Structure 1
Amino acid sequence: MPSPHRERVICTMLQNFTYRHEEPFQLESGEWLPYIELAYTTYGKLNESKDNVIWVCHAFTGNANPSEWWNGLIGSGRLFNPEEHFVICANILGSHYGSTNPLSNNPETGEPFFHDFPFLTNRDVVLSFDKLREHLGIDQINTLMAGSLGGQQALEWSISQPDIFKEMILFSTNAVHSPWGIAFNESQRMAIEADESWKKRNPKAGIDGLRIARSIALLSYRNYETYNRTQSRDEGQINFFRANTYQNYQGEKIQRRFNAFSYWSLSKMFDSHDVSRGRGSLADALALVKAKTLVIGISSDVLFPVEEQRFLAANIPNATFEEIDSTYGHDGFLIEFEAMTKAIVNWRKN
């Protein structure tokens, strides 16, 4: 008979799995993937009544371990902890971290998909999530929570399957991706295209362009005040600024952990986001959400400005909007843990 202490350790351990859907998977575009794999993690233990599920959707270049990049919200002693909750997060289709992506093997050719990888939308991702949910035998999800690209997917899922979710928490996201956001993404793709290696069928194709693309992205994730505070220049300085070093460091960092094909694919996924597609107006689509919803915006976010979160809260039934005052811009939803925790706790009291 295992000791109570050992049972607690087992239940709170982060576990990694891969779900494989062997049948052809039809995409919103009409194209097909011959199969799909989803790398996912679970954290905690599903209780007998199966009412402690917390489903997390990760952001653009995130992975399936939210206790790594959301460790102020998820983890032992945090608001969403494995002692009480069963946390699930799946790496999205197209991403670099274990799920089917452009570097996965195409059984029709015997080599990676590379540039032949089909166009994906958030609706394709949501359909794959639902396949995983069914595979895990989960009928109800207590809390669906996500930010940015993941927030778009959570919103799409709550509209397409409104009876599954009890509550939803959205951070720094929108109902339709803006021309402003699309322009940022196109500029990043232009940087990848300008890399002479991009046309090669090689896992490292476009890697130098990816470095520049990430540097462009950082400008939308932060803002003027953030750079003034974190990358300030020294008095009398005329060259070799902190901002120079920071941009290069971030570009080199993404080169070490991601690939240009996935980056390209997921940026196009961002652009396609529009919950009203085939559903009438944005208001018509948002009215389909049944989950009690908290929408959190960051005051200085220039990529997903708070007007977009106010719109969500105004059009989702039983929704509340909370604005967090922060100078961290879009990245605030990955940093302002204390304020976000407080907002969630207060919302749940009402």
Structure 2
Amino acid sequence: MSQETFHCQEELKLESGEVLPEFDLCYTTQGHLTPKKDNVIWVLHALTGDSNVQEWWSGLVGEDKFFDPTKYFIVCANNLGSCYGSTQPLSTNPVTGKAYYYDFPNLATRDMAAAFDRLREHLGIESIDTIIGGSLGGQVALEWSYILQEKVKNTIIVASNAKTSPWTIGFNEAQRMAIESDCTWGEKRPDAGKKGLETARAIGMLSYRHQEIFQASQSESEEKTDHFKVSSYLRYQGVKLANRFNALSYWVLTKAMDSHDLGRARGGTAKALSEIKSKVLSIGINTDMLFNKEESQFISQHVPKGTYREISSIYGHDAFLVENEQINYILKSFYLENND
């Protein structure tokens, strides 16, 4: 696997009307292009993911896995705004020579897709066999599929939607309120909002998992009045994320998720979906409380070449990272039926 950084010196005009004068995207590649360059698989990560797809989606990507680098050329780039090597709030603003911090521009999923398209052109890739992404990655993948039109053959959207619901925006806003409540928020320092991010992650975990998995893994075998297992679990998850991520990137990325609307300035969501040219597999999860399965069904119902499949799991939204056997079966069926 090769990890590199693409530096784009051309400005990127954003949906907000703001401009990034230049930007970096950290990305990894695995495998080799065929002479026809027709074996590209582009994977898009979720909210706090990175470009090392073989680590966080090991059940799907790797040697002898469904997306095998001995057969495919696999690309995964870190989202614009994320803190794993791409331009983000702690990056230096080339105009001022200082870190952006709170002056970092508002991003939309459409902007992230546009940045990836610059990387595609840089890599000399004319067409993509498959774009696949889950959660926020699925939102960006859908935007990019719309932009690419005939240049992408298959689009796989896992546990995601075509427009962010008020429910999801509400969860994200509650997390940002937690970050705002940190007394260090507003200060220009890399760890600003760190304690608030711990709380934000705890709130997020309640939407990523279903109550069944909490019941199965966090229920108590003894009678207690305090110090519950689930309390320790949520605190641990909060600290774990805060030690590897920063609150400023979390703020920017959740705002981008909130802004997701494929139909904005395109005649509405249904119309925009109807204009996607690729074959689309939309995978829902029966217990997903963050992006419910009806949102996935909506995608498959409104694209011209849509297929819907469902994961059955007690894990909730996080099932897309856990239920590897089901996902592999769904993908095999989709490719057999749609890619003769």
- State TM-score, norm by structure 1: 0.95
1:245 paired to 2:232: yes
Q: Cα offset for 1:304?
A: 0.5
Which ranges in structure 2 are unaligned for 5 or more consecutive residues? none
Aligned residue-pair number? 337
Q: How does 1:168-187 map to 2 (within 5 A)?
A: 168-187=155-174
Structure 1: unaligned runs, 5 residues or longer? 1-13
Of residues 70, 76, 87, the one that matches 2:57 is 70
- In structure 2, what is the equivalent of residue 324 of structure 1? 311
**Corresponding residue for residue 335 of structure 2:** 348
* Cα distance in 2, alignment partners of residues 205 and 50 from structure 1: 44
Instruction: Select 1:312's aligned residue among 292, 295, 299.
Output: 299
**Counterpart of 1:257 in 2: which secondary structure?**
coil
* CA offsets 1:25-63 (integer angstroms, 9 cap, x no match): 211111111210000000111111101100011100000
Report the Cα offset of residue 281 of structure 1.
2.1
Give 1:120's aligned residue.
107
Q: Secondary structure at the match of 2:225?
A: coil
Are 1:196 and 2:201 counterparts?
Answer: no
Aligned with 1:29: secondary structure? coil
Paired with 2:52 and 2:189, the residues of 1 have a C-alpha distance of 28
CA distance in 2, matches of 1:276, 1:255: 34
Alpha-carbon displacement from aligned partner over 1:148-194 (angstroms, at most 9, x marks no partner): 10100110111122111111111000010000000000000000000
Shift of 1:237: 2.7
Residue 134 of structure 1 pairs with residue 148 of structure 2: no
Counterparts of 1:166-315 in structure 2 under 5 Å? 166-315=153-302
Return the letter of the residue paired with 2:125: I
Letter in 2 for 1:120: L
Which deviates the most, 285-294 or 328-337? 285-294
What is the CA–CA distance in structure 2 between the aligned matches of 1:81 and 1:238, rounded to whole Å? 50
For residues 234-255 of structure 1, the C-alpha deviation after alignment (integer angstroms, 9 at most, x for no partner) is 2223322210111011000011
1:86 matched to 2:73? The reply is yes
1:109, CA displacement in angstroms?
2.4
2:87 pairs with one of 75, 78, 100: 100
CA distance in 2, matches of 1:61, 1:124: 17
CA offset digits 1:306-338 (Å, max 9, x no partner): 000111111111111011110100000010000
| Whole-angstrom CA distance in 2 between matches of 1:41 and 1:281 | 34
Q: Normalising by structure 2, what TM-score?
A: 0.98
Q: What letter corresponds to residue 325 of structure 1 in structure 2?
A: S
Runs of 4+ in structure 1 over 4 Å off: none
1:333 to 317, 320, 324: 320
Partner of 1:11: none
Partner Cα separation in structure 2 for residue 114 and residue 347 of structure 1: 43
CA positional deviation for 1:87: 0.3
Shift of 1:24: 2.2
Looking at structure 2, the residues matched to 154 and 202 of structure 1 have their Cα atoms a distance apart, in angstroms, of 32
Partner Cα distance (2:23, 2:260) in 1: 21
CA distance in 2, matches of 1:265, 1:40: 20
Deviation at 1:91, TM superposition (A): 0.3
Alignment correspondent of 1:28? 15
1:108-156: CA deviation from partner (whole Å, max 9, x where unpaired): 2222100000000011111111100000000010011011101001101
CA distance in 1, matches of 2:147, 2:114: 9
Among all aligned residue pairs of Structure 1 and Structure 2, give the percentage whose two residues are the same amino acid. 49
Q: What one-letter code is carried by the residue in structure 2 that aligns with 1:243?
A: V
Specify which of 5, 24, 46 is matched with residue 37 of structure 1.
24
1:172-231 Cα distance to aligned partner (Å, 9 max, x none): 000100000000000000000000100101111100100000000000000211100111
Residue by residue, what CA displacement relative to the aligned partner does 1:92-113 show, whole Å, maximum 9, x if unpaired?
1100100000000112222210
SS at match of 1:203: coil
RMSD of aligned Cα (Å): 0.8
SS of residue matched to 1:198: coil
Shift of 1:296: 0.7
SS in 2 for 1:296: strand
1: CA distance between counterparts of 2:220 and 2:97? Answer: 52
